[in-house]
Each structure stands twice: as C-alpha cells, then as structure tokens.
Structure 1
C-alpha cells in the first residue's frame, strides 16, 4: 500500500481572516490611522541608547528647555503640527522618548481632507478580489469572516461569486456515494476527471473532495459567527424553507462554499463601520434566473435603506445617467453587475427606465451577457471548465445603476461613451495589452469611466498583481487578494493609508483635466534619496531559526513609473513584477535587537518620480514583516511591528529633500518573505 503523501508546506504569506481587531492589520489603510498600531510599549536597551544620543545632539542645537526651541525643531525637522509642542512638555529626555513611543512622530503625513465633490470615477478605490476566500484559489474555505475582515480594514469594493444552491436534503453522504457508484458507464470518465482533482489534493492537502460531476462543493449547514463559533444560517423570509438558495464559492475548484444570504448579512453589519463612503459589491453571476430572483430578494431585504436601487434622479433612463458625486452616495451600496449592451436591432427601442425598484425577474434575451472568466493564462491541464453563460435577468441587471458591467471588446465600442455608468473588467494580462496598444485611449477612458483590474487566473496561490502600474494608467478599481500579505497589499496600504478607502486621483487624471496621456498628466521629477538606519527591536524569530542562525537584513525598494509605462511600450515583465524598480539593502545583522550603526543607503538620480504614485517599500527578510520604527530628522529607524510601504508624496519637499522623521507603523503579522 502506498505511503500517504506528505502534507503540503504551509504558505506563510497566506492567512485566515483575523477577527480580533482586524483594523490593526495592514493592507487596507486603516492601521495607519489607528493609534494603537502606532504606539510602542517598551524600548530595548539599544534603542533607548540611540534615542538618548539623538536627544543630546538635538538639545544642543534647539535648546529643548524652551518652548521656542521645541517649536523650531518640530517645524524644521519633524514638519509636525504646532500643537505637538504640548506633547514634549518640559523638553526633558523622558518627554522626548514618550513623544516617539506615542506614535505622534509618525512618518506618514495625514492625508488631506477628501474632496468628495467629483464624480465617483475620479477616485482610486481600495478593492478586494475573490473576497470570500480565506486562502488559495483552489482549496481554501469560503467564509463570511473574510468580508468582515476586509470591510473593517477599509475595503470599499468586495467581490461575490454566486452559484446555484441546492435545496436542503435528508439524504446521507453514504447514499450520495452509492448513487455515484451506481453509474459504471461513467467510471472511465470519472477516473480521468479525478486525475486533476487528485493532483490538486496532493498539492494543496485537501482530502475527501466531492465526486467530479459535482460542479461545486456541498453546502455548509452552519456559518461561523464573529467569534469563530457556529451559528445558524440566517432565517429566510420566503415561506418555503426548503427552497434552494444561492451560494458563494470559487467555481470548479475544491473551495468550500458559504451562503449568499450569510454574505449579505455580514455586509449589512460591517459595510459602514470603518468608512461611510460608498461600498461597491461586484457580482460574478453563475446562477439560474430563479436563483437570481432570490439574490434580488435577499439583497433588497438585507440592504434596505443602503442599496442604490434607483437613480438619484428617478426620471432619467439608464442611458442618460451621469455618474453621481461621491458626496451624494455616503453610506450607500452600489451593485456592479452585468448589463447587456443593446443589439443593433434594439437601437430604436425605448430606453430602459429605472423608475421603480427591481421587479420580479424574467428571462430576457436582451439581457443576456457572457461573463468573462478569470482563468486566462492557465495551463491546459489546470483550466477550469468554461463558466456558464448566465442570462442576467432584468431585475438583477437593474441594480447596476451606476456600475453596470459590460463585456470588453475595445475602447471604441459603439455606444459606450453614451453610457457613463459602464464598467469594464479586465485581467491584468488583457489590461497590459490594451495599455501597450492604446495607451492614450485607455487613459482617456479612465478619466471618465470605470475600469476594474483583477489578478490573472494563473495566480492559484492568491498572489497579487502590481497595483501601482494600473493606478498610473488611471484604473480606479484594482482588485487584490487581501488574504495574501505581499508587495501588492503593501502598496495598497500605502495608497490608502489613513483614508476611508477612496482617494482622489491626481489632477491630471480627473475628468476635468484636458491632459491626453499618462506621460503628461502628472509632473515627473528626479530624486536623490538618503536613508539612515539606526536600530531595531523585537524582531520575531521564525520557527525554523534560532538565535545563532538568525541573520536579518532590510531591503528598500522604490516603486517608480518605468519609462515604458509613460511611452506606452511593453512593460518589462508584463507589469507582473511586484518588486521595486530600484533596490538596495542593509548589511546583515545578527540579533533580534540589532544596532544598525546609522548605516546609510542612497538612491541617486532616480528619474520619473511622481509624488502621488511612487512608493517606498521596506522589506525585512528572513522573518515576519517588521520594519522597525522610531526615527527622527532624515533618519529611518526600525522597530516591530509595522508596515514598511508609504507614498513618497505625502510631505512637502520630498523630491528635493527626502525627509522621513518617523516610520509608519501598522500591526501586521501575516506572511513571510523568502
């Protein structure tokens, strides 16, 4: 008898959703605005010595014994608010140390007040891909906890893949197994199909997968509550308790499902806890018309008072609608769902009016649309079966008031410019091809209309694309796998740090601008950057390491727009690479509390820097993400735990004189970097 396959190695960059204060978890921007994530409870002896030496040096220059001296230091060195004078009290060493431990010396300049007076396509939106998954794309769980997690972390666009459910059944699993075994004619076909499934099981560790003719896993009888314990499925308002209800999962994989009803209930409860700005729910629909009727019923029930099911001006037809201003959609849920383009024969038909909430759905050829599969680039052996061509019912399509999805064919599709509410969703590969062949047209489109980018299907381990490439092309919704902690999510933290999940685009990227291309839309500068590393403390020791073999170092990356991006040429690596274009690293250390010896690394003559769309990322290798903080003047000190990515343009003069008075901190325990 063959020995059992060894368990698949753990992927340390993946993590199940954290429900204990997820707002302290980095990636969505909320942690940078949470005081608890920026404070330090104690200082190591090495760090305390470094702070004392710095205090003595500064005190000679500024005379901290006077309010005037403290105010001068805060203005010239820290660029902090004048009221911080009170935090330093009498200017003593203890007050100086307390100032840094409090987090008030944060490197991240608070984002400017959000100007919410622009149409909603003028903003970048913190967005999630396959939100329901807790791990990889093939064998992880689907959980409502994943929605709670990302919503509390500041996500403003979540995705739901919806499939037909099955009615409750009293048949046992043994009966189901017998019914499968009673089909000898399909035995050969089953073995062939099981070959790939078995390979998935061996690769990802899932045992006891369902038989191959099942298109998706069985329905879970109960759902976890906020504390991780089981709770009953939410009650149904429908008189029939035995009806099938839609479920949420990654189709044709080993992922387990959860109910659409439970997902909607979770969104209702957490949609506007961390932000009152609108939430976009992106639906990928694979259900029958009957199940779509139930979807509309459930969304209408659970999101009553929040769901945008009518235009702000109900007298307008869907073809006449203009995108609303952000300020007019506070605490509202927008549905992104396919809306079929009219056929030529329908061109003279009366425009659809949206004067009433969604009606009972019915089959309609004019509402047929083909859903784009996200499985491009998969090897033949690993491709999912083609997704069914769901016929989107009129009642469901009507809910796509301001975010109606249309199948992308070209940027010159007839009629699209006359439908301001359209959304194109493209995989990263398809979008890079458009960027390389129609850069000016792509930039023009994204100044006025919505576009969504999502990771290609080959990213089976839920890795992320490089979001800054797509933000620089004007893409508003760059969907990322929030369950994976990698460079993509670190950049997402930097983009949305301290915000409510919507960031106004640079002026040249807005619909009010006449700039024609990405190249001219925003000023580009040359950058000389010098960073001095002082000390670190409490670096988490990996399980496989001991004190003697533990040799950490810090790598600094600059994520800067490439020349090829500006010129519309093929981007090296197809835009897939998440590492920065410029990289330097410190010397290797030999301690969890290293004295970094004021080591200086320099980036000189960096070209093409745009303050608002350039990022600096710190990665501590060989252990958990912890870039140590506590720094002053032009120095970057390091301390655990915190996020190490931030936007270059958050302070004045950053291009001529890179000034980092204090490193950004975020509690972040997910992921390991190789």
Structure 2
C-alpha cells in the first residue's frame, strides 16, 4: 500500500499562496452591504438612476483603478438597456465579481532572471503536523503545503529502525565511538535536551517513560569501527547495498518525541503533489543524519520516485544559476556539498543549528555525506557558513543556511555584505529551535535583507504566515525581488535603482457580512468583533537605504496600526469608520504589507476570528471586498466592504 494519503481538499482554499483568484468573488450580499453599494451607484448616476458607458468607464478606471477590459467589466458593458446604460442591479453584479477583491490579480512576473532574484515560498520542518516536540510526522503535511503553493520543503532523514541488526551499521563506520550513533543513547540525549525547555509536569511524566530511562550502548570493538568504505553506486552496488537495506530511512524531528514517517512515502507524496498548483521548480532541503548505506538508499529512492523530475548533471549550465522558467517541473535537491577532491564532507546535514539548549557530547562526529548523494545538489549545494569571504561564497550554486538569530546578527553587524551576497547567491533563513510551539519569525525583515528562502512553520497561522500569504498569494511560489535587490542586468537595460516612496493610505470600513466566529465558540450571540489594521514596513527598514536595522525578528517594528470600534454579531454596519496612515516615508511597495485582523473583544486576550493580508502594490483602490480567512488560514464566506484611498510619491535612491 502506498504511503501517499488522500490529498486534503481544504488545502486548495488555505493560506500559503495557492488559493485561486477565482475564489475571491462575493456570491451573496446582505442588506447592509447592498445599501452602501446602492449609495455608491446613485452618487455617480444620472437623474434617471442609470449609468452611461462613459460613467461605467470612469468608475472602473478612476475610482477602482481597474482594467476595463476584464471579463467582468466586459460583461458590465454588455448589460446595457439598448441605449448604452446600466441600472443598479447590473452594478451590483459587477461588484460581486473578482474585480472587486481587495487583492489585485497577480500579474505574471518575469521568470527569466537567475534563481537568486526571487523570493521563494518555503516551509520549515515540513513533515510536522504540530509543535516541534511531540507532534506526528506525516506525508499529508507535504501534500498540504504543496497544494498551498509552497516551493521549498524540508526533509530530516534518519537511519531506519535498526532492531535486530548487528553492530556493523553504517553509523558505526562513520563514528569515532559506536555509542555516539546507537539509537538508545540518542533517546537519552533527547530527554536530557528537552528537560531544559518543557514544563516540569511534562518532564516528570517523561522521566517514567522509555525516553527517560538510560540504556546501555551496544558494545562495538575497535575493529568494527575500522570497517571498509561503503561501496558507491559507481562501483556497481545493487539497490539493496547491505543488510541495512531492509530498513529504509525515516523522517522525523531528531532528539524529540515526534513520530516518524517513511522517507519513501514522503518522496511519493511529494511526487504526487509537486506540480499540481505550480509548475515552477521545487526545492527539497535535505537534513541528512543517516549513515552511508542508508544515504545510498536515499539516492535510489529519490531517483525511483522522482525520475525525470530531477535535474541531470548533463543539463547543468556553467556560470549563473538558471531561471525558474528554465526549471519548470524540476526538483532541485539542496544537500551538503562534497568537493570533487574529497570523498566526504565534515558533516552530513546542511550546517543548521536548531538553537536548542544542548548537552551533545563535544567529541561526537556527525555522519558524512557520500558523493553519490552530494552530486544530486546540482544548483543548490549546501555549504556551512563561516565567513562572507570563504572560497565557497563565490561559487554560483552554493546556498548558505542561517538560523534567525544568526541572520539578524549579521544583518546588524554586516548588513551590506549580507545584502550584497543575496543579490547573486541563494540563502535560506529558518526559525530558531526555541520556537517549540512552531511559531514563526517575521519574514519581512529577512526578505528586506534579500533572503530568498525564508522557511516558515506552515502548521501555524500567525503573523509570519499571514505575511507569507500577502507575499505569495496566487503567484506560483516565486516572486521577483524589487529593483535594487537583484543583480544588475547584464545588458544594462534594466535600472538597478531602488524606489523609495512616501505613502498616504486611508481605509473606510463600510460593512461586514458572514464573519466567522473564533475557534471553539459555538454561538455568535456573544461575538463582539472589531477590525485591526496594521501596516508592516519592516522590510523597508533596510541598510541599503541608510536606515538602522532591527535586531529582533519578533519585534516587528510596526509603527502603524489602528482599529475600529467594537460591534456585535457576524453581520455588522461599520458606519464608515476610517483608519489613516499619513505620510509614511521610506516605502518599498513590494516589501510593504497591509494586514487586517477581525478579533473578538473580550476579557484577556482577544481571540482571532479572521484575517487577510495584502502586499501594498497589490492593494486595490476604490470600493473593495476584503475576503477573509479563518484562524486556520482557510478561505471563508466572510468579507468586509471598504473604500481604499492610496497615493504614493516617489524618490529614487541609487544603490
């Protein structure tokens, strides 16, 4: 039976970037919303209560700032009464179309630039269904994020179950001490590590389980540590390379209580969902904790599952990395780089540090990545970061990975070097291991410093994932960086000027309908909603524009936020309340976000009911519907009618 489970139907309607713009229509209108829209129509109508073709065009072009050649607009022009005029019902039909969504349709970006010129929608510890300590690892998690538009997933791979095997395992071949690699000491180490960060009550319970009981390591002689090197694929090794082959690699979060899943089943799940929503390249970020034999099995499994989806060595182009357009329907493997003149690298994983308190033995030597596996990292060769001047830092296909705190440290101390590096080369940033509840960093800060791959915990709907939706909604998972954040065009035809703007934004809240109630609430009778609006300008606070940088990704440096009054019920008249953000300078439209949150006004913490997030350059003007997602990131029938007035003045800054 295949390990690929049924695809979650809700994923296509869930936040992440995959949701279709066609889902952003408003099929029904309540009486309050209709009342406001009728007033809008009559404000622009002639004495007979109708609009001429010229009035239709002026409303669409000058009030809504929309294209008058869309299917919905064409239909509106075609609804005239024979004299080129429309009535209020025709207007209401137009306003229920996707043309009135607050998020403007994605205009396909230029996909011909090299890979480092794009922000890429990315997942962290993709296999987890919940928190970082004791949730399940599932194949459904991969299916879910891929159907939501994710283009970079992570797999942590460990040796398969060693029950019944002799001590001559692949781990033994790589380790200075056999006990360092045996499964039982790993469990003891996991408990010791977790005791630092979990509540005392849970710690006491775990002490009584097998995880908290010390096991003696297997005895291994010195001779066994000096085993012969494992045969390579080039040596003609068969698919089943040793006794270990009976136990395939597994995927889990090491040194925790998380449950495992088969590596083969993960690869099959990825194969089945990789290119359903987007045909743009998918990056697989491998964290390899396996011995050599099991690494050979990994290679075989990936080649068997992904076949022609993998980039072949004979397809490689020298020099700059290829573009997303050249890599459509291709899978790229990010794995530790093994130099051609070396059989192995010093460590097996990508050099990531989870940031957790650790009592790992200092003498422990990680497993080594074998050449056969390393060769699969054709355009994404993971290299441990040491300095910005290390030899690999100018290798076109290298990719550094930095934990959020390390990234922010470099942003503060070496911001110009970080920004310059990220114009030409890939860099992945990922959350601190201390985020055990799977909370997220604020991706805007990392995007602002040029990081292409900002990995997030997709199982959590928080500010980080909301901003990710704002960046990638409907895009296919790749967004071209703004001018000044990518390399200069070799032809010189493209300006490398960063455009710094001053924003004046006013939003008038008119009415809301079908608001979802917070999770756990069973009735709308006690629901007291208000709308909170935040303008995120963190990413614009860039060293490239001569500004100071924040040193904490959890402090979003939001200087602009406002809220409406509290109301009651799920269908409400917002009474034309206004929020304004005047004269906000230093704005880069592509890196600025407007986030709307509907919250329940109650004692203590106000629960989140619904939300939406829009990138500033895609924020529609005029009369718009904010289509709301619920607290789990699922598209709802709830929406808010608003009027948006936005003006920007430019001031170019050469970089």
When normalised by structure 2's length, the TM-score is 0.78
Matched, 1:53 2:39: yes
1:24 is aligned to: 13
Checking the alignment, whether the CA contact within 8 Å between 2:44 and 2:55 is kept in structure 1 is: no
Instruction: Tell me the alpha carbon deviations over residues 348-399 of structure 1, each in whole angstroms, 9 at most, x when there is no partner.
Output: xxx56xxxxxxxxxx93456456434321x456xx78889612000000111
1:592 is aligned to: 570
1:174 is aligned to: none
Distance 2:584 2:366 in 1: 48
Checking the alignment, whether the CA contact within 8 Å between 1:23 and 1:152 is kept in structure 2 is: yes
Distance 1:396 1:422 in 2: 16
Task: Check 1:294–1:440 CA distance in 2 against 1; reply closer, same or farther (3 A cut).
Answer: same
2:148 is aligned to: 153
Query: What SS does the corresponding residue of 1:509 show, helix, strand or coil?
Result: coil
Distance 1:662 1:505 in 2: 27
Measured after TM superposition, the shift of residue 666 of structure 1 is 5.7
Checking the alignment, whether the CA contact within 8 Å between 1:64 and 1:70 is kept in structure 2 is: no
Measured after TM superposition, the shift of residue 511 of structure 1 is 1.6
Measured after TM superposition, the shift of residue 59 of structure 1 is 2.5
Distance 2:191 2:629 in 1: 47
Distance 2:367 2:61 in 1: 60
Query: What SS does the corresponding residue of 1:662 show, helix, strand or coil?
Result: strand
1:580 is aligned to: 558
Distance 2:337 2:590 in 1: 34
Measured after TM superposition, the shift of residue 67 of structure 1 is 2.4
1:662 is aligned to: 624
Instruction: Tell me the alpha carbon deviations over residues 603-658 of structure 1, each in whole angstroms, 9 at most, x when there is no partner.
Output: 1121211111111111111287666xxxxxxxxxxxxxxx511111236xxxxxx8
2:172 is aligned to: none
Task: Check 1:61–1:279 CA distance in 2 against 1; reply closer, same or farther (3 A cut).
Answer: farther
Task: Check 1:401–1:158 CA distance in 2 against 1; reply closer, same or farther (3 A cut).
Answer: same
Measured after TM superposition, the shift of residue 496 of structure 1 is 1.0
Q: 2:306 aligns with which of 285, 303, 321?
A: 303
1:106 is aligned to: 101
Distance 2:190 2:252 in 1: 24
Checking the alignment, whether the CA contact within 8 Å between 2:535 and 2:561 is kept in structure 1 is: yes
5 Å-filtered alignment, 1:230-379, equals 243-313=246-316, 321-340=319-338, 364-366=343-345, 368=347, 371-376=350-355, 378-379=356-357
Distance 1:485 1:385 in 2: 36
Query: What SS does the corresponding residue of 1:87 show, helix, strand or coil?
Result: helix
Measured after TM superposition, the shift of residue 146 of structure 1 is 0.6
Measured after TM superposition, the shift of residue 483 of structure 1 is 0.8
Task: Check 1:409–1:63 CA distance in 2 against 1; reply closer, same or farther (3 A cut).
Answer: farther
Which deviates more from structure 2 when the two are superposed, residues 90-99 or residues 123-132?
A: 90-99
Matched, 1:540 2:516: yes
Q: 1:438 aligns with which of 414, 425, 436?
A: 414
2:617 is aligned to: 649
5 Å-filtered alignment, 1:79-90, equals 79-83=65-69, 84-88=72-76, 89-90=79-80
For the aligned residue pairs, the C-alpha RMSD in angstroms reads 3.5
Distance 1:574 1:511 in 2: 28
Task: Check 1:606–1:40 CA distance in 2 against 1; reply closer, same or farther (3 A cut).
Answer: same
Checking the alignment, whether the CA contact within 8 Å between 2:156 and 2:252 is kept in structure 1 is: yes
Measured after TM superposition, the shift of residue 71 of structure 1 is 1.9
1:456 is aligned to: 432
Instruction: Tell me the alpha carbon deviations over residues 61-99 of structure 1, each in whole angstroms, 9 at most, x when there is no partner.
Output: 997442232122111112222233333323322222222
Checking the alignment, whether the CA contact within 8 Å between 1:487 and 1:578 is kept in structure 2 is: no
Distance 2:349 2:31 in 1: 63
Instruction: Tell me the alpha carbon deviations over residues 579-625 of structure 1, each in whole angstroms, 9 at most, x when there is no partner.
Output: 73311111111222111000011111212111111111111112876
Which deviates more from structure 2 when the two are superposed, residues 367-376 or residues 496-505?
A: 367-376
Checking the alignment, whether the CA contact within 8 Å between 2:409 and 2:551 is kept in structure 1 is: no
Measured after TM superposition, the shift of residue 413 of structure 1 is 1.0
Checking the alignment, whether the CA contact within 8 Å between 2:288 and 2:348 is kept in structure 1 is: no
Query: What SS does the corresponding residue of 1:492 show, helix, strand or coil?
Result: helix
Q: Which has the higher strand share?
A: 2
Can you give the 5+ residue segments of structure 2 that lack an aligned partner in the other structure? Answer: 81-85, 166-184, 216-237, 491-495, 601-605, 635-655
Q: 1:621 aligns with which of 574, 584, 599?
A: 599
1:424 is aligned to: 400
Measured after TM superposition, the shift of residue 663 of structure 1 is 3.6
Task: Check 1:508–1:579 CA distance in 2 against 1; reply closer, same or farther (3 A cut).
Answer: closer
1:211 is aligned to: 211
5 Å-filtered alignment, 1:447-596, equals 447-512=423-488, 522-542=498-518, 543-544=520-521, 547=524, 549-561=526-538, 563=541, 565-566=543-544, 571-572=549-550, 574-578=552-556, 580-596=558-574
2:114 is aligned to: 119
Distance 1:209 1:579 in 2: 44
Distance 1:61 1:312 in 2: 68
Measured after TM superposition, the shift of residue 277 of structure 1 is 0.6
Checking the alignment, whether the CA contact within 8 Å between 1:296 and 1:395 is kept in structure 2 is: yes
Instruction: Tell me the alpha carbon deviations over residues 108-162 of structure 1, each in whole angstroms, 9 at most, x when there is no partner.
Output: 2222222121111111101111111111111111110011011111110000011
5 Å-filtered alignment, 1:374-413, equals 374-376=353-355, 378-379=356-357, 389-413=366-390
Task: Check 1:567–1:507 CA distance in 2 against 1; reply closer, same or farther (3 A cut).
Answer: closer
Checking the alignment, whether the CA contact within 8 Å between 1:530 and 1:602 is kept in structure 2 is: yes
Distance 1:109 1:205 in 2: 53
Measured after TM superposition, the shift of residue 415 of structure 1 is 4.2
Distance 2:266 2:47 in 1: 58
Which deviates more from structure 2 when the two are superposed, residues 202-211 or residues 468-477?
A: 202-211
Distance 1:548 1:574 in 2: 40
Query: What SS does the corresponding residue of 1:290 show, helix, strand or coil?
Result: helix
Distance 2:117 2:48 in 1: 44
Distance 1:364 1:252 in 2: 28
Measured after TM superposition, the shift of residue 41 of structure 1 is 3.6
Query: What SS does the corresponding residue of 2:407 show, helix, strand or coil?
Result: helix
